[in-house]
Amino acid sequence: MPLSLPGSLVSTEWLAAHFDHPGLVILDGSFKLPGVTPIAADDFAARHIPQARFFDIDDIADHDTVLPHMLPSPGAFETYASDLGISNDSIVVVYDTPGLMSAGRVWWTLRTFGHDKVAILDGGLRKWMAEGRAVTGEATPAPKATFHATFHPDAVRSKAQVLDNLGSRAEQVIDARSAGRFTAEEKEARPGLRSGHIPGSLNLPFNALTDPQSGELLQVADLRTAFETAGLDFSKPVIASCGSGVIAAALAFGLHLTGKDDVAIYDGAWTEWGQPGDTPVETGAGKRDDRK
């Protein structure tokens, strides 16, 4: 019997009832910052949801740039997806360990390359394990599949486009980093970067969208309230940003759940913008810092 997703967010109960369905692909999209050990791939090797395959955000990326985990070319993504056993007919459920940190990046990547039959597991591996559900350290071989990508450039913004937006203000920029990093009270972990934020941008830390205990997403009304409290105008399009393009997708997913899809991600994010150069930076409550 064909399988269909109940929505863009699926419960642990739904996944437990369908995780061995032949039409379903489960992806563990967990990610950790550089230098944090054990790395996400090692965590996956130790325990993951049965039948899951590991979506390595750093590997499934453009390796011709020094910027981390930038989107690969459509052709390269076709190869990655096919090797993971994903076809254009696959139903995909993505999770990460905390609930909604990097799963949004995998969800956004698949959609950006034309695959809309993808959902995120509410609460991630944390909730799955808290409920006593099965995990395994055994790898499940991925059957070879064929994936054809249809790239949607409107889902991505470049540095040049974000610079142009400083003048036009046609799109709102919202930053998913912590308040301390946004205001420059905390230094960036990556060496050589300036601290602060893109001028005029809003701030909503990605973990404000989930319950701190369970990792589950807030109710839709509460998600909308969180964005509005941060200053977002739901009538205007959005660019989501963060440190390196990963947690920005959590904001894109949260907005998607509220029905707002005119949202793009600045893929280079602060790792690109914060480098010494000609990009203007604000610190604190709107203090501009144009130091090179």
Say if residue 37 is in the same domain as residue 74: yes
**Mean pLDDT (whole number) for 91-99:** 97
In a domain, residue 3? The reply is no
Residues 124 and 51 reside in one and the same domain: yes
Q: Find the mean pLDDT for residues 212-222.
A: 96
Question: Structurally, how many domains does the chain consist of?
Answer: 2
Please, which pLDDT band fits residue 290 given cuts at 50, 70 and 90?
Answer: very low
CATH of the domain at 83: 3.40.250.10
Pick the closest to residue 205 from 169, 230, 232 (CA basis).
230
Q: For residue 249, what pLDDT is reported?
A: 98
Half-sphere exposure of 125 (CA within 13 A, CB side): 26
CA 199 from chain centre, in angstroms, equals 22
Lookup: tokens for 257:
């759940």
* Close Cβ partners of 153 (under 8 Å, ≥ 6 residues apart): none
Residue 97: is its pLDDT beyond 50?
A: yes
Same domain membership, residue 16 and residue 88 = yes
Length of the chain, please?
Answer: 292
Place 291 in a pLDDT band, splitting at 50, 70 and 90.
very low
**Domain end point (choices 93, 117, 151):** 151
- The tokens for 140 are 């499940």
pTM of the predicted protein model:
0.96
Average pLDDT over residues 244-252: 97
Catalytic residues: 242
Residues 234-248 have a mean pLDDT of 97
Is residue 247 in some structural domain?
yes
Dist CA 68 CA 139 (whole Å) = 26
φ and ψ at residue 160, rounded to 5 degrees: -60, -40
Distance from C-alpha of 201 to C-alpha of 34, rounded to nearest angstrom:
26
Q: Which of 107, 132, 151 is the last residue of a domain?
A: 151
Query: Do 284 and 162 sit in the same domain of this protein?
Result: yes
Is the pLDDT confidence value at 33 over 90? Answer: no
Domain residues for the domain of 264 are: 154-289
Regarding whether 187 and 140 lie in a shared domain, the answer is no
- 212 within a domain of the structure (yes/no): yes
**Burial class of residue 191 in the structure, from the number of CB atoms within 10 Å of its CB (0-12 exposed, 13-18 middle, 19+ buried):** exposed
Domain co-membership, 133 together with 26 = yes
259-288 mean pLDDT: 90
Cβ(12)–Cβ(121) below 8 Å: yes
Residue 1 lies in a domain: no
